[in-house]
A and B are shown apart, each in its own frame.
Chain A
């Protein structure tokens, strides 16, 4: 029963005993004990042998730790989960097929038909569609609110409201949420603050330090970093008191599928993550593929280095655009001119990310021409790639929204979104320069 490698003794909080960069390489990934393999093996495997019938019963009853079937848990995916939990400073994480799947898994844990939640009206367009349209089919009701206005948020809280959902740094438009004040509002109401930390990554923003209860990710973006693997995850802080009121019966009431055990009573601060695997992934089924977990782990090993360069390149490109005569405005929290600059300094002290928007004086038509004139920027619907990406949201990602919703989401007809990559920044500026020149 000996494990001789616990060199983090003596620190006050074992979860934060090592630095961020150490954890992004090592957390969750010890050498494989049977072979000594140092890199995390890809367990391309569906199911796991039981020692005997009693062992199987213990596993199915959740009385012991172990693997049953890869729809619920998989050793490669588990390494990514622990790494994400460690980097966010959370208790546990559940990874799944995509960021959208992570959002369904998250709400599924505690929403009942007829329940509601509040979400920022400036969310990523895909989230607005998922919450506003698809969630309605589950009888879950979102209220979109301008979360910069604390009174509007408070006023939108109803007895059926279970959570406030925001992005730390909003996609597409350089908007930073005031997490500390939103956390205070959520705490006062006894509801969750859920933060989508995809655009910032845990390297730039640590939502749990500001009082968030759950963090969701599309791991497809900066975490994997190379545009190879779609994936998502939800991290639990482990600090939310699910029994403080009667709003969270999904975690506190006896669970019929497990013969009446209460997840919160039985698993304490591990309740949400246990439930997300044992009920959420089991019954909804959006499992992350082991190969995608492996690719994402490779990406995370260099997260801090990439984010530093992403942020530096983006700030330089934003300053270039701000000075260009064809550009009407630039919405990037790295710029002193941004109304979110102060919030960015508070919540994203290492940099304001690399995705931002700008408006062209020529409007919708100029937007389309600009996108089609770029040579180095790839015209596609993704963010957080090592390659620089350009998009005209009104004609692509946000086209399902009404024009009013597009404008509220910072994706109006004149808006161009950039995800600035890791190329030589002078080359990126030269590419934008020739594309802007082509507008004349």
Chain B
């Protein structure tokens, strides 16, 4: 096991704002295999109303969960609000740099690195370019945690409130 420096604490409000403002996610490292973690996350986020565009050079041209797979972020047509990195910490560096390079053109606002993916240098470059960063978290787990669904499985959500959650009309 390699030593990793501490990841900053992200407040619930910070994460909720990201999850509320995002509509389109480019998932880098999305796998076409149904029992891979990225597939689980992609399917869940689609069910919650996000458009998730898979990016994976090894699966480019194919399709995952009804979405065409692209070889790189740059090749994805149209806007991307969040780049979700399902690769190792080292690979997160060049992926972040590519996202910074096309951020304005593609409306990229957030670099989100998955659980276990931590790259402080890349995070600093992204923040200097005006992007919002999350490291070492999963958007599926955070969405579920902040919207009570994680609690259904017996997990400690850390959310305590006496407010009644508003249900959206169908």
Q: Report which A residues bind B (CB closer than 8 A).
A: 1-15, 17-18, 22-23, 26-28, 30-31, 33-34, 36, 38, 55, 58, 61-67, 73, 75, 77-79, 81-82, 85-86, 90-95, 241, 244, 258-261, 265-266, 268, 270, 273-274, 277
A93-B156, A270-B153 are known contacts; what are 9 more A-B pairs with Cβ within 8 Å?
A: A4-B163, A7-B161, A26-B160, A28-B157, A31-B164, A58-B43, A61-B40, A81-B155, A82-B154
A-side contacts of B14, CB under 8 Å = 9
Are A92 and B162 in contact, with the CB atoms below 8 A? Answer: no
Give the contacting residue for A23; candidates B141, B160, B164; CB below 8 A. Answer: B160
A277 to B141, CA, bound (A): 17
Count of A-B contacts judged by CB separation below 8 Å? 163
Are B151 and A28 in contact, with the CB atoms below 8 A? Answer: yes
Are A266 and B37 in contact, with the CB atoms below 8 A? Answer: yes
Are A73 and B154 in contact, with the CB atoms below 8 A? Answer: yes
- Whose C-beta in chain B lies nearest to the C-beta of A74? B152
Are A268 and B116 in contact, with the CB atoms below 8 A? Answer: yes
Known: A8-B12, A30-B148, A265-B37. A2 touches B154 (CB 8 A): no
User: 7 pairs across A/B with beta carbons < 8 Å?
Assistant: A3-B165, A18-B160, A26-B160, A64-B44, A65-B144, A79-B151, A273-B155
Are A3 and B155 in contact, with the CB atoms below 8 A? Answer: no
A14 to B145, CA, bound (A): 11
How many residues on B have C-beta within 8 angstroms of the other chain's C-beta atoms? 47
Q: Give 1 or 0 for each of B127-170: 1 = CB within 8 Å of chain A CB.
A: 00000000000100100101111111111111111111111100
Are B149 and A61 in contact, with the CB atoms below 8 A? Answer: no
Enumerate the 7 nearest inter-chain pairs by beta-carbon distance, A residue then B residue, closest first.
A5-B161, A81-B154, A14-B158, A5-B163, A6-B12, A65-B149, A85-B156
Q: Give 1 or 0 for each of B38-72: 1 = CB within 8 Å of chain A CB.
A: 01100110011000000000000000000000000
Are A67 and B156 in contact, with the CB atoms below 8 A? Answer: no
Determine whether B124 belongs to the interface, using a CB cutoff of 8 Å to chain A.
no
Give the contacting residue for B162; candidates A3, A5, A15, A75; CB below 8 A. Answer: A5
**Which residues in chain B, 9-38, are within 8 Å of chain A measured between CB atoms?**
9, 11-14, 16, 19-20, 34-37
- Distance of A178 from chain B, by nearest CB (Å): 27
